[in-house]
Structure 1
């Protein structure tokens, strides 16, 4: 299949060229004009799936635009790649791995075969172990402090979910997250906890991640000093596939929860990487999170392409990035519980699609993943929204709203939602003014996503929506969204610098900048 002419360059596809011509035809089409021409535009440009709604009416697109975008998706074989992912075929080609985070949340016992073995029984066994462990911990309250030590997807994802679902958490159990190599992160966390009542969870697939293992060893030493014993194994568990390394660290094998090669780090919150927040919210809520994601999986698998939320969001993003030449995406959740969502989505999107080489190892000839920025509303309005409204570069936006709040107080929630609606309206319409400083051009595109309520189930819907959107875009760009080679070079160079940190910088075989900065640091 990879030798098919259509895989040689996406920009040479007839469907791609048709969209380029279409962009010239529609020119600077103003979104406000589209609403004037069709006052009922919302009715034709929104979708609802269970407890989530997507409004994409404030996009500079016409029925012809959508038809051409769907034609491109078909030409790029999105449906076939989707099937390959869900059935366990190797789509992470650079690492020769299947990509099966979706299998972690399926209730279906239909076999999914990886390297000749059905993985579904492994997943069922792992979930049963998680349930038993979490139920016991929550009942006994032997540990009231849970410290998750990990980085990347082993930190951003569980920290985000824990914060998002804090309303459902047991407030007698305090969950902390340590990720940074900076010792301050660990030290300040250790000041908050009681060693006797603390359980550390080391989350690392390989159990060799530099930052994670440095923090894990320091935490173990701290615990030994406080408890006055050498064996602190009862205070450590791990989510890892490296049994030998976890055993060497001192963690009993019965306290090692599996994570598999076919689960990428940034897609791993559905696995044992979620132990920390599972302990906090309880396994039933963890299962509801999985169920919500599975529902979005089924929508992605079965809905027609032009009524498919992930595909529509993906293709609108392609329109922005490749045909309108818009390099950035702003995401603004209007819910305090979602304050960590943007950093999570930044990794999910930019680590997945921040690639410039296609699946045949050739430089791409078109733009790929956007730069993702954002913060919670209304804070973001007072931080960077100025550039959204009047900046010289147009920045498409995703607004995420929650209809029902868990914490009704006065008119706060009405004010919050009103601000969100006003921002998307202002970005679309703009405002004329005799004073050029107070003139807003408008025509700034946005999606609005509305959750009925922020629950484990709806959070699962939302996160899976973005996962699949990013997957589809990777297919359109013909890149591998499931490796992260760009992360490795800095780690390798850091290891070399650490080995030589105490040497005279002038003797190192390195550039003058690195040498000069190192010499300056050591002089202070």
Structure 2
């Protein structure tokens, strides 16, 4: 399908042209029920999308586009286990990991839901043994620290969830994360840990990821001479992988090898055994609650009409802002310290999924397929890049995310935090007019010439769109629902814009080049390299002292 040939596509382009001259504040003044009309409430959050440049005509056209591109058909195909990841020949079944597909869905002749439950029971047994001191190191010491070695989807999701659910940490067993092949992160993480009571969790879908396996080899060396290597691998290592045979070939015990499947995309694998660090941190019951929250969003996404469907509406707002209004970025701004890793997580989830220029027909996309995702904690951002959001010539739509109930007992702190979230969203929409700035400056007693000089610098044009999502609290169910909301949003964008969202060929090129270049850093063979790369390698070899640099003093 050439979606740009659809009449509704041209209609949306025309509507976008007209909307660029509208004022959001005026749209609220004209419709006292606008916030009620363009918001919805689920059991776990309120989503307000009223501060977008939409009216009923725009919304109905967006919904028509979703129907004409068969979003509902693609949605059902995903839940039915059809092969919608066609470039890799796989179904897309991360929803099965939280119990959201029926027993009719099979893979390789196996009922998917039963496979999932078997593995979850294994995870439960492992977590309970770990917390009860039933898993011990080579000298009999109970395991007190688990270090997750993974990168990308094997790291970002688990660490994000562990940080988000800090109030639910069980204690007793500490969880740490190492993702970077830069040895500094591994060294810094291991400082203060005891080899005798440390277990390394090697998380890799293929179990061939060079960064993760390099960190695993260094972790094995750190364990030293506690025991022979084979015993260390059996007692101090566990694995999570879609390639369990490879993990066992490397010496990790079968009972400590946990499986997920190739129908789970890495960046959507939090709900599988990849989430083992989360289960360790908050207990298996907490992990089940996280899955339940996500499953509730699965049901909402699958059953609720498009016009009242939270993931669909969030996707349509993003598509409208990026593809039709022409704003190519989205700022993710959580006003909760616990959600500090959410922007990084969503960067991978969305940009690795829809950051593509080839349609399902194998043709060049003639439109933007998704925004650049960036952001950080809202309060920190206010003192860093909000100047750009408010007064730059560029318009950057934003998602503000907060919580009604904090994960701590400092209520005044939370009121200040939430007031800032509401104020920033309001300020981006309303701005400050030239007339108001001038009046405030005159009232402050400044002379007329100084007022005239300062006014242009203090005007905020406003008229900048945003969504606001208020969670009921930072409990496992609400966090699970939030993550699943964004997962399904990403799916909707890809389905509507004719993108295969579940492959990531763009990740592979750099990996292959790095493998070829690594030996050249030692050999100095620059044959076939471009001038810039050759120059950089030459400089590295000339300046590399051949040993680890020590900090003076």
TM superposition score category, shorter chain reference: over 0.9
Alignment deviations for residues 137-193 of structure 1 (CA, whole Å, 9 cap, x no partner): 112272110100000000011110110111101233211111111011111111131
Match of 1:483 among 490, 500, 503: 503
1:24 Cα offset (Å): 2.5
Distance 1:226 1:459 in 2: 42
1:119 Cα offset (Å): 1.2
1:477 Cα offset (Å): 1.3
Distance 1:50 1:385 in 2: 31
RMSD (Å) for aligned C-alpha atoms: 1.2
| Contact 1:353 1:479 (C-alpha < 8 Å) held by counterparts | yes
Distance 1:108 1:357 in 2: 30
* 1:21-40 to 2 correspondences below 5 Å: 21-40=14-33
1:226 Cα offset (Å): 4.8
Confirm whether residue 104 of structure 1 aligns to residue 103 of structure 2. Answer: no
Confirm whether residue 212 of structure 1 aligns to residue 208 of structure 2. Answer: no
| Contact 2:521 2:540 (C-alpha < 8 Å) held by counterparts | no
Partner-residue secondary structure (3-state), 1:57: strand
Partner-residue secondary structure (3-state), 1:43: helix
Distance 1:182 1:226 in 2: 24
Query: What is residue 154 of structure 1 aligned with on the other side?
Result: 154
Query: What is residue 300 of structure 2 aligned with on the other side?
Result: 299
Structure 1 unaligned regions, length at least 5: 1-6
| Contact 2:51 2:465 (C-alpha < 8 Å) held by counterparts | yes
Structure 2 unaligned regions, length at least 5: 135-141, 439-454, 544-553
Match of 1:521 among 523, 540, 550: 540
Partner-residue secondary structure (3-state), 2:318: helix
1:107 Cα offset (Å): 6.2
Distance 1:33 1:93 in 2: 46
Alignment deviations for residues 39-77 of structure 1 (CA, whole Å, 9 cap, x no partner): 221111110010211011111110111000000000110
Partner-residue secondary structure (3-state), 2:472: strand
Confirm whether residue 229 of structure 1 aligns to residue 249 of structure 2. Answer: no
| Greater Cα offset, 36-45 or 508-517 | 36-45
Query: What is residue 348 of structure 1 aligned with on the other side?
Result: 349
1:123 Cα offset (Å): 0.5
Query: What is residue 3 of structure 1 aligned with on the other side?
Result: none
Confirm whether residue 436 of structure 1 aligns to residue 473 of structure 2. Answer: no
Match of 1:502 among 522, 527, 537: 522
Partner-residue secondary structure (3-state), 1:227: coil
| Greater Cα offset, 452-461 or 401-410 | 401-410
Query: What is residue 283 of structure 1 aligned with on the other side?
Result: 284
Distance 1:491 1:405 in 2: 41
Confirm whether residue 462 of structure 1 aligns to residue 482 of structure 2. Answer: yes
Alignment deviations for residues 17-57 of structure 1 (CA, whole Å, 9 cap, x no partner): 11112223334211101111012211111100102110111
| Contact 2:319 2:370 (C-alpha < 8 Å) held by counterparts | no
Confirm whether residue 66 of structure 1 aligns to residue 65 of structure 2. Answer: no
1:253 Cα offset (Å): 1.4
Distance of aligned partners of 1:116 and 1:410 in 2 relative to their CA distance in 1, 3 Å threshold: closer
* 1:162-173 to 2 correspondences below 5 Å: 162-173=162-173
Distance 2:17 2:151 in 1: 44
Distance 1:17 1:61 in 2: 16
| Bigger Rg, structure 1 or 2 | 2
Query: What is residue 3 of structure 2 aligned with on the other side?
Result: 10
Scaled by the length of structure 1, the TM-score of the pair is 0.96
| Contact 1:195 1:226 (C-alpha < 8 Å) held by counterparts | no
Query: What is residue 380 of structure 1 aligned with on the other side?
Result: 381
Partner-residue secondary structure (3-state), 1:330: strand
* 1:67-466 to 2 correspondences below 5 Å: 67-106=60-99, 110-140=103-133, 142-223=142-223, 225-230=224-229, 231-232=231-232, 233-409=234-410, 411-432=412-433, 433-434=437-438, 435-466=455-486
Distance 1:79 1:469 in 2: 13
Alignment deviations for residues 118-149 of structure 1 (CA, whole Å, 9 cap, x no partner): 11111110011111110111122721101000
1:488 Cα offset (Å): 0.5
Partner-residue secondary structure (3-state), 1:193: coil
| Contact 1:111 1:120 (C-alpha < 8 Å) held by counterparts | no
| Greater Cα offset, 478-487 or 99-108 | 99-108
Partner-residue secondary structure (3-state), 1:481: coil
Alignment deviations for residues 300-329 of structure 1 (CA, whole Å, 9 cap, x no partner): 011111100000010111110111100000
1:109 Cα offset (Å): 5.1
1:243 Cα offset (Å): 2.7
Distance 2:88 2:516 in 1: 25
Alignment deviations for residues 412-461 of structure 1 (CA, whole Å, 9 cap, x no partner): 11100000000000000000134111000111000000101100000011
Distance 1:509 1:217 in 2: 32
1:468 Cα offset (Å): 0.4
| Contact 2:207 2:247 (C-alpha < 8 Å) held by counterparts | yes
Partner-residue secondary structure (3-state), 1:98: coil
Partner-residue secondary structure (3-state), 2:67: helix
| Contact 2:524 2:541 (C-alpha < 8 Å) held by counterparts | no
Partner-residue secondary structure (3-state), 1:56: strand
Distance 1:306 1:107 in 2: 22
| Contact 1:331 1:374 (C-alpha < 8 Å) held by counterparts | yes
Distance 2:364 2:370 in 1: 14
Partner-residue secondary structure (3-state), 1:500: helix
Query: What is residue 494 of structure 2 aligned with on the other side?
Result: 474
Distance 2:198 2:166 in 1: 19
Query: What is residue 4 of structure 1 aligned with on the other side?
Result: none
| Contact 2:20 2:325 (C-alpha < 8 Å) held by counterparts | no
Distance 2:20 2:401 in 1: 29
